[in-house]
Amino acid sequence: MPLSGTQIAKLLPNKKGCRECGFPTCFAFAMKLASGGTTLDKCPYLTPEAKAQLEEGLAPLMKLVTVGTGVNKLEIGDEEVVYRHEKTYKHPTGIAILISDKEEEAKVEEKVRKVMELQFTWIGLTLKADLVALQFESGDRSRFLALVKKVIALADLPLMLICEDTDLLFEAYGICADRRPLLYPITEKNIDAVIPKIKERPTPIVVRADGVAQLVPLTAKLKEEKIEEVVLDPGSKNIFDAIRDQTFIRRAAIKQEFRALGYPTVVFPCFLAEGGIKEAVVASAFIIKFAGIIVLSDFDRFSLFPLLVERLNIYTDPRIPMAVEAKVYEVGTPDEYSPVLVTSNWALTYFLVSTQIANSKVSAWLAVTESEGLGPLTAWAAGKFNGDVIAKLFKQTEIANMVKHKKLVIPGKCARIKGETEEALGFEWEAVVGPNEAGGIPAWLPGFAKQVKEGAAKA
Amino acid sequence: MEYKAPIESYPGVVREVTIGKGNKAIKLGGENILPLHFFDEGSRPNAPKFALELWDMKPEDWPEWGIEPFKDVISDPVAWGKKCESYGADAVCLRLVSTDPSVKDSPPEQAAEIAKKVAEAINVPLIVYGSADADKDAQVLPKVASSCSGMNLLLGPVLKENYEVVAKVALDHGHTLIAQTPVDINLLKELNVRLSKFCPLDRVVIDPLSSALGYGFEYTFSLMERVKQAGVIFKDEMTQMPIIADLGTECWKTREAKESKEQALIWEGVTALSFLLAGANVLVLRHPDTLNLIREITGGNGK
C-alpha cells in the first residue's frame, strides 16, 4: 500500500502551524494527501529528502498510461490489486487490431472500420474495441509511412506503432506525434538512442525485453530520465509463459511495491495463437490475466463481442451487485394481451428471465422492481421485494394501461407474496405464481400466455 | 532496488477425489497450487478434466451447430454417451432434463434405467445431473444411485433442501456427490459442513453454480477464484474440494450462442477457459470443438 496518513505526517514539518496548505494542521494535510484529496506542492516547507520520499510513497503502485488524445484516448494501468474480488479493476484492457503494412488497402480500410463501427449495446452501455496497431513488416519503408498516413486520415483512433527499425519508428512517429501514439519496441539495443527523442517529444512507449527481470534495468534507466509513460512487454513466447510473466509483473507491482515493474503491460494473442476462434479464446485469458492492452490479428463481430462482454464482466465492481433500472421492459414485441412478469432488479436475474422469455418465443412485459440489485429471494428476505414494492412500481409506470388484463406473474420462489401483492394492488390484479427457476419459463409461459389472451378477449 | 521473482508457495491442498470405478476411474483435484501457476512452488497431479454432456431426451431448442456433432444419436442417450466418449471426453455427463416437473416430469424409474444403460455402455466415468428441482431430485437421484450401485457416479446436484435424502443413499451405493449452492461462499461452506457430519469429504465435488459469459459469469468466476484461494492459501477445509464448472448448458442457452456458430464456440470457450483459470477441476462442456480447443490451450506446452 502507498503511505498512510500517519506515515506521511511524520515527514511533514509539523512545528510551524503555518496553515499555508489550507489545512489547520500538518496532520490534517497528511490525511488529505493519503486519500488523494490534495497535492504535495501545497506545502512550501518540505525538506528535499522528505519531498523525494513522499513523492515516491504517494505515487500509485502502477502508473497510469494514456495512449491517444481526445474522446477516444485509451487509459491503462493504475491498478491497485491482483485479484478482482479484492477491489475493482480500474482501467479495462485495451483491445487492438493489428494491421501490417503488407496488407492490401481494402483490408486496411476494413480493419480500421471494424474498430470504429463494431459497437454493441449491452445493459445500456456501448462496447467497442479501442486501438489500431500498425506493424512494419514489408521491408519497404515508404509503405509503412504511407500506412500510418492512411490510417490517421481514416480515423481518430489511438495508435500503436510496431517497427523494429528504430529510425523508421521515429519517422512514423513524426507523422502522428500529435496523436500520442504508443511506440514499440524500446529495447536494450535502442534505449540510449531513444531517450533524447522521447524527452524532446514525449509519448508512451513499450519496453520489450527477453523476460521480466530483463525489463527492470530498462525501466530504471527511463525513470532516471523521468520517462514514465511506459508499457511492458516481457517477450513471452507461449501462453503459459505469458500467464507467468503477467502474474509476476502484477505481483511485483502490487504485492512487492516494486516500482520498476509498476507499469501496465501489452500481450500479443496474435502471436501466441494462429487466428480464428483459438486466438479469441487465448485473448480472453489475458483480459483476466492482467493485460493493459491485447493485440489481435483480426476480429469480426462474433469474435469481438464475447471479448467485450468478458472485459465488462471482469472490470465491474465485485462488491456491488449489478443492478438494472427498475422499469417495465419489453421482451420481444408485447401488446395489450401479452403476459406481465415481475422480478427484482439484479442484473443476473433480469438477464436470465428476459433470455428465458425470449426462448419461450412469447412476447411479454417484464416489470423489474427497485430491489437494490438483489435477486428476488434475497430481496424478499431483505424486505426489498414484496407487495408494496411491486405496487409502487405499478403506480410509477403505465403498465396498468398497457395491457387489457389483470394478471401478473411473480417468481415461484416468492409464492408467499401472492396475497400481499394482490392486497397492495387493491385486489385489482391477480398474482399468478410462476415457475421456480427462470429455466422453467419456456415450458410454462406459452400456455399461460394463451390463457391470458383468451381470458382478456372474452372480457 | 533488485528484482526477485515473486514466486509463491501454498500451505493447502485440494482433496483428491476419484470418480468412476476400476479402469474407468479418473482423479480430480489434488493440487497445492493455483490454476496454471506452474511457476509457483507446488504441484498439480491431475490436469483438469473435460466432460461432454448429453440429455435424456431429444433437445428442442439447440441451434443446429450445437446438434450437428450429435445429430445421428440425439434421440438415443446410450449412443449419445458413446459419441461423447469417441470425441475424447474424460467423462460423460448425463443431464436428466426430462425429469423436471416443468418439462416432462418423467418418472424416476425411467431416469434410473437410462443412467444405468449409459454408464454401462461407456468406458469413462459418468456424471449425472438431476433437474435441480429439489423435491423431484429427492425422488430421482436415489433411484439413479441404486440402479448404478457401485459405479461411483459423480451425482447431483445435492442441495441444502434435499441433501439428507439424496446424499445418504448416494454414499451407500458408492457414489461421489456434487454439492451445489447458489454462488455464495458461505452457503457453499455451510452445505459442506452439513455433509461432513456423515460424509467423507473426499467424496464431494463443489458446484458453485456456473453462469455463462454475460449472464452472471463474473460472480461465478470470482467465487471459484475465492474458493480455490481459500483452500490452497488459507487451508480452509470446507473449500478444499475439487470444483465442477457445469457451463455447457448455460452457454448454449444464451441468445448469443444461437446467433452464430463462431460466437457460440467462443462464448463457451471463453467461459470454460476463464473458469479453468479461476480454479475448476472438471468442466462440463457441450461442443467437442470446445473440448479440443481448451485442452489444446491448457494441456500441452502452452503453444
pLDDT digits (tens, 9 = 90+) for A287-296: 999 999 999 9
- B174-to-A153, A392, B15, B16 alpha-carbon distances in Å: 70, 53, 18, 16
Reading the block at residue A96, the C-alpha cell is: 487492438
Burial class (CB in 10 A: 0-12, 13-18, 19+), A237: middle
Burial class (CB in 10 A: 0-12, 13-18, 19+), B73: middle
B247 touches chain A (CB under 8 A): no
The torsion angles phi and psi of A359, rounded to 5 degrees, stand at -65, -30
What is the spatial distance between Cα A97 and Cα A156, in angstroms, rounded to a whole number? Answer: 15
| Residues of chain B above pLDDT 70, percent | 98
What is the spatial distance between Cα A459 and Cα B18, in angstroms, rounded to a whole number? Answer: 62
A168: Cβ–Cβ under 8 A, 6 or more apart, which residues?
A: A136, A141, A144, A145
Q: What is the mean pLDDT of chain B?
A: 95
Establish whether domains A64-314 and A328-458 are of one fold: no
Reading the block at residue B251, the C-alpha cell is: 452457454
Question: Cα A190–A196–A197 angle (5° rounding)?
Answer: 80
Q: Identify the pLDDT of residue A107.
A: 97
Q: Give me the half-sphere count of Cα atoms (radius 13 Å) on the Cβ side of residue A33.
A: 32
| Concatenated DSSP letters of A165-181 | -HHHHHHHHHHHGGG-P
Top residue of B161, B266, B298 to mutate, by most chain A CBs within 10 Å, is: B266
B3 touches chain A (CB under 8 A): yes
Reading the block at residue B135, the C-alpha cell is: 423435491
Q: Identify the pLDDT of residue B226.
A: 96
How far B253 CA lies from chain A's nearest CA (Å)? 8
Contact state of A310 with B301 under an 8 Å Cβ cutoff: no
Q: What's the CATH code, domain B17-295?
A: 3.20.20.20
Binding-face residues of B in 83-112 toward A, CB within 8 A: 100, 102-103
A285 touches chain B (CB under 8 A): yes
Distance of CA A349 to the CA centre of its chain: 22
Read off the pLDDT of each residue in B272-285 and give the average, rounded to a whole number.
98
Contact state of B36 with A300 under an 8 Å Cβ cutoff: no
Q: Which of B211, B253, B270 sits opposite A348 (nearest CB)?
A: B211
Q: Identify the pLDDT of residue A320.
A: 67
- Identify the CA nearest to A267 among candidates A306, A301, A233, A241: A233
A271 touches chain B (CB under 8 A): no
CA dihedral sign of residues A150, A156, A162, A166: positive
Q: What's the CATH code, domain A64-314?
A: 3.20.20.20
B180 touches chain A (CB under 8 A): no
- B178-to-A268, B96, B132 alpha-carbon distances in Å: 38, 15, 11
CB-CB neighbours of A335 under 10 Å: 12
A453: Cβ–Cβ under 8 A, 6 or more apart, which residues?
A: A337
B29, B14 in Cβ contact below 8 A? yes
- The string over A20-36, giving b where at least 16 C-beta atoms fall within 10 Å of a residue's C-beta and e elsewhere, is ebebeebebbbbbbbee
Q: Which of B102, B221, B301 sits opposite A435 (nearest CB)?
A: B102
Q: Identify the pLDDT of residue B300.
A: 60
Contact state of A318 with B222 under an 8 Å Cβ cutoff: yes
Contact state of B256 with A281 under an 8 Å Cβ cutoff: no
- Identify the CA nearest to A129 among candidates A345, A343, A280, A350: A280
What is the spatial distance between Cα A32 and Cα A39, in angstroms, rounded to a whole number? Answer: 9
| Residues of chain B above pLDDT 90, percent | 92
Closest B-chain CA to A284: B270
ipTM greater than cut 0.90: yes
Q: Identify the pLDDT of residue B184.
A: 84
Question: Cα B183–B270–A276 angle (5° rounding)?
Answer: 170
More confident residue, B111 or A25: B111
Provide, as residue numbers in chain B, all residues whose Cβ is less than 8 Å from the Cβ of A436.
133
Provide, as residue numbers in chain A, all residues whose Cβ is less than 8 Å from the Cβ of B303.
238-239
CA dihedral sign of residues A395, A401, A406, A407: negative
B131, B162 in Cβ contact below 8 A? no
Question: Which three-class secondary structure state does DSSP give residue B245?
Answer: strand
How far B150 CA lies from chain A's nearest CA (Å)? 32
Has residue B301 got a pLDDT over 60? no
- Length of chain A equals 459
Reading the block at residue A417, the C-alpha cell is: 407474496
Provide, as residue numbers in chain A, all residues whose Cβ is less than 8 Å from the Cβ of B226.
85
Rg of chain A (C-alpha set): 28
What is the number of H-type helices and E-type strands within chain B?
10, 10
A383: Cβ–Cβ under 8 A, 6 or more apart, which residues?
A: none
A247 touches chain B (CB under 8 A): yes
Binding-face residues of B in 19-38 toward A, CB within 8 A: 36-38
Closest A-chain CA to B101: A440
A303 touches chain B (CB under 8 A): yes
Question: Which three-class secondary structure state does DSSP give residue A323?
Answer: strand
> Which amino acid, one-letter code, is at A121?
T
B187 touches chain A (CB under 8 A): no
Question: Which three-class secondary structure state does DSSP give residue A428?
Answer: coil
The fold of the A5-58 domain, in CATH, is 3-methyladenine DNA Glycosylase II; Chain A, domain 3 (1.10.15)
Question: Cα B17–B18–B22 angle (5° rounding)?
Answer: 170
- Identify the CA nearest to B129 among candidates B54, B19, B227: B54
How far A55 CA lies from chain B's nearest CA (Å)? 17
- Identify the CA nearest to B244 among candidates B279, B273, B290: B279
How far A443 CA lies from chain B's nearest CA (Å)? 6
Q: Which of A255, A277, A444 sits opposite B262 (nearest CB)?
A: A277
Q: How many interchain CB pairs under 8 A, A with B?
A: 146
B34, B40 in Cβ contact below 8 A? yes
Q: Which of B5, B226, B273 sits opposite A248 (nearest CB)?
A: B5
What is the spatial distance between Cα A203 and Cα A408, in angstroms, rounded to a whole number? Answer: 59
Q: What's the CATH code, domain A328-458?
A: 3.40.50.11600
How far A73 CA lies from chain B's nearest CA (Å)? 26
B229, B34 in Cβ contact below 8 A? yes
Q: In what order do the strands lie in the sheet with A328-331?
A: A328-331, A364-368, A340-343, A407-410, A430-433
CA dihedral sign of residues B185, B187, B193, B197: negative
More confident residue, B28 or A401: B28
A79, A88 in Cβ contact below 8 A? no
Contact state of A358 with B255 under an 8 Å Cβ cutoff: yes
How far B224 CA lies from chain A's nearest CA (Å)? 10
- The string over B219-230, giving b where at least 16 C-beta atoms fall within 10 Å of a residue's C-beta and e elsewhere, is bbbbbbbbbbbb
Q: Where are the domains of chain A?
A: 5-58, 64-314, 328-458
| Concatenated DSSP letters of A336-381 | TTS-EEEE--BHHHHHHHHHHHHHTT--EEEEE---TT--HHHHHH
How far A248 CA lies from chain B's nearest CA (Å)? 6
Provide, as residue numbers in chain A, all residues whose Cβ is less than 8 Å from the Cβ of B302.
238-241
How far A341 CA lies from chain B's nearest CA (Å)? 17
- The partner residues of A366 in beta bridges, in order of sequence, read A329, A341
Provide, as residue numbers in chain A, all residues whose Cβ is less than 8 Å from the Cβ of B294.
281
Collect the ranges in chain A with pLDDT lower than 70: 1-2, 124, 320-321
- Identify the CA nearest to B114 among candidates B136, B150, B140: B140
What is the spatial distance between Cα A435 and Cα A437, in angstroms, rounded to a whole number? Answer: 6
